């Protein structure tokens, strides 16, 4: 199975700088390359920092021709009313270009059209009017794992992915009109929870739907964050795996 992960960190700079964004992307990379995260290879992961829209779309083309893709964004964002349907649409700041057409991208543009994919948006979702034109300590060391064991995790991960219906799953760090915490962030908590859960349940797997539910509990009960993550898996019976046992 061909897989591609595109991890986008857009911390920007100056007063808008977000120090937690780099931690988010490092958390994603560390988790995905771990055994429970699916034992992704380094060459299956693309990391972009404050990318131009052209650079990003080139990476999305790579993802389009894969069997499974994860597109994760961390940075600033906002929501506006979709001009066609009137439904809320999340927009993301990629860079600091003065040309809004180059600096901002819609959540829908980030869908690469892969048969199976997961989109994660760790950003604020404050509703704006339409304007026309922390670290994880419980780490398991997978660096010395025999290649045969690593390959078995890859095979099981891919088997679970292919059991799921085709379609795109969306993860939102916050609900409509909510800001998203920078440190600790949704991404940091989600990946930390997944790692800790895998250590406690080494022979079990967990899907994104269940992980989102548990992550929300951790955010509310442990960190007292007011934001509420949203999971949109679509009309499916089988949800993509986040942890493979």
Q: What is the mean pLDDT of the chain?
A: 91
- Max distance between CA atoms of the chain, in angstroms, equals 56
183 vs 193: CA distance, rounded Å: 15
Quote the CA–CA distance of 3 and 137 in Å, as a whole number: 28
Rg (CA), the chain: 17
pLDDT score, position 82 = 74
- Region of poorest pLDDT, from 19-23, 45-49, 68-72, 223-227: 223-227
Q: pLDDT tens digit string along 43-87?
A: 999 999 999 999 999 999 999 999 999 999 999 999 998 765 677
Q: Does the predicted TM-score (pTM) go above 0.85?
A: no
Quick one: pLDDT at residue 139? 57
> What CA–CA distance (Å, rounded) separates 6 from 47?
6
Tens of pLDDT, residues 150-183: 899 999 999 999 999 999 999 999 999 999 999 8
- The pLDDT tens digits of the residues spanning 99-140 come to 989 999 999 899 998 999 999 999 999 998 765 444 445 556
- Strands 104-106 and 116-122 come out as unpaired
Residues 153/38, Cβ–Cβ less than 8 Å: yes
Rounded CA gap, 117 and 84, in Å?
25
Which has more pLDDT, 217 or 135?
217
Instruction: Classify each residue of 3-36 as buried b or exposed e, where b means 16 or more C-beta atoms within 10 Å of its C-beta.
Output: bbbbbbbbbbeeeeebebbebbbbbbbbbbbbbb
Amino acid 135: pLDDT: 42
Backbone φ and ψ for 85, nearest 5 degrees, come out as -100, -15
């Amino acid at each position: 199975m061909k897989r591609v992960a595109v991890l986008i960190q857009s911390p920007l700079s100056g007063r808008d700088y977000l120090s937690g964004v780099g931690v988010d992307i490092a958390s994603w990379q560390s988790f995905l390359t771990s055994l429970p995260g699916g034992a992704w290879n380094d060459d299956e992961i693309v990391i972009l920092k404050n990318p131009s829209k052209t650079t990003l779309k080139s990476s999305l083309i790579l993802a389009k021709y894969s069997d499974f893709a994860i597109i994760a964004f961390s940075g600033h964002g906002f929501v506006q009313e979709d001009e066609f349907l009137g439904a809320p649409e999340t927009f993301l700041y990629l860079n600091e270009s003065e040309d809004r057409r180059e600096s901002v991208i819609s959540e829908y543009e980030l869908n690469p059209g892969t048969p199976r994919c997961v989109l994660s948006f760790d950003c604020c979702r404050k509703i704006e009017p339409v304007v026309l034109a922390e670290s994880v300590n419980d780490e398991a060391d997978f660096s010395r794992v025999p290649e045969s064991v690593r390959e078995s995790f890859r095979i099981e991960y891919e088997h679970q992915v292919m059991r799921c219906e085709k379609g795109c799953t969306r993860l939102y760090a916050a609900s409509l009109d909510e800001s998203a915490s920078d440190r600790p962030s949704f991404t940091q908590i989600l990946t930390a929870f997944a790692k800790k859960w895998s250590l406690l349940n080494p022979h079990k797997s967990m899907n994104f739907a269940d992980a989102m539910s548990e992550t929300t509990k951790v955010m509310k009960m442990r960190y007292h964050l007011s934001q509420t993550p949203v999971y949109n898996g679509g009309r499916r019976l089988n949800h993509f795996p986040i942890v493979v046992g």
